[in-house]
Amino acid sequence: MSKTISGFSKLSKSEKIDWLVNAYFDKQEDTKTILKQYWNSNDKLQQLHDEFIENTITNYYLPLGVAPNFLINDKLYTIPMAIEESSVVAAASKAAKFWLDRGGFKTSVISTTKIGQVHFIYKGDHARLKEYFNTVKSKLLEAVKPLSKNMEKRGGGILDIELRDKTAAIPDYFQLHVSFETADAMGANFINSCLEQFAKTFKSEALNFEGFTTEEANIEIVMSILSNYVPDCLVRAEVSCKVEELTENKSIPADVFAKKFIQAVKIAEIEPFRAVTHNKGIMNGIDAVVLATGNDFRAVEAGVHAYASRSGSYSSLSHAKIEDGIFTFWMEIPLALGTVGGLTNLHPLVKLSLEMLDKPNAKELMQIVAVAGLAQNFGALRSLTTTGIQEGHMKMHLMNILNQLEANPEEKTAIVNHFKTHTVSHSAAVEALEKLRQ
């Protein structure tokens, strides 16, 4: 059967699946059964999921877990986390419990500015372009008033428009660099709609500007799009306590642990090979909450990693110090999030996740998400500098291994008990299960 098809999007879901299994799978009935197992039995809810994207064939589930005992600015939270990786929720929960007794997490929003750009080509005198921009700027803002009216009612809107000369990098290349405040919305559609209107007005008004020659008036718009790099949409999260209070692990003195912890952070600050994995651990916590609350984790990832490279070298997002006997661990991170619009009003589990967090506004959600990332980083660094990362991770991963080996409930109980006093590895689990079955 041909693996190319025309008009696929116009087929019904059943017809899509029929074509797919016939073209790509040997066990066709088994494949259909698996796909249908993940359909929701509630037809209305399934239709909602089908219409999130195009060409839906089934639902792809991730576990939704919770990490309790997060004290953030003296308020207790249980944080929802959608993630498949073993040990992430456990590590976050453990870190939350550790800091619960030491004052909890302190957070603050530094700024919430988001950016969009109109990229264009202008072949002419730079001074005349600047003169034109100064003339047309008020018209640009006037043209988007119908689009920005509701956003302004919610406390958002357009903050400023700048003309930026990028001709040193690309000949004749300029930008309209626009800053936005989107209040509790993620704001992507709002920003992009405003930018496209800016582009139309900027191009059409140029034809009437008397200071331009005919060639100069012919401005070429390349594209208009928001930026996921948001270095001015920043939140800070931190924890601190007296050094002698870092006493959870009895195998290492508190002062030795603190110094080793700080050394580990410093290595991530100067060594990109370590920094990438270090920051990935932070994103384990951040992405899980971003997903659970219906936000765009791809945008968050892109913006965060760009921010980690802002000095010209990729570096740690988190930092640590000891000052006057106080251990402090903190992070400043860019997070463009929303609590209205998008999936936040559509996905039932997103609604529950936001309700679990006491229906936060965008600034509050920024702080909660940042804390989840910092807690995850603390948990990882604590393991790395004491017992090693694999001890806890592999114990959490053990159930995945046993499921792969199709262990029954009695076997799982016996093997879990066995590994309470033995080191977990895939080969060790296989060996233990084989011995048990013999």
Residue 332 contacts residue 238 (beta carbons within 8 Å): no
Q: Please, what's the b/e burial string for 315-332 (b: 16 or more CB within 10 A of its CB; e: otherwise)?
A: bbbbbbeeeeeebebbbb
* Phi, psi of 424, rounded to the nearest 5 degrees: -85, 135
Residues in the chain: 438
Please, what sign has the CA dihedral across residues 113, 195, 304, 373? positive
Q: What is the DSSP string of 313-333?
A: S---SEEEEEETTEEEEEEEE
For residue 98, which of 261, 284, 324, 291 has the smallest C-alpha distance?
Answer: 261
Residue 107's H or E segment, with its range, is strand 106-109
Helix (H, G, I), strand (E, B) or coil at 165: strand
Return contacts of 153-159, CB within 8 angstroms, 24+ apart.
154/183, 154/184, 154/185, 155/181, 155/183, 156/180, 156/181, 156/182, 156/183, 156/185, 156/187, 156/190, 157/181, 158/194, 159/113
Can you point out the beta strands (E) in 260-355?
318-323, 326-334
Active site residues: 85, 280, 296, 393
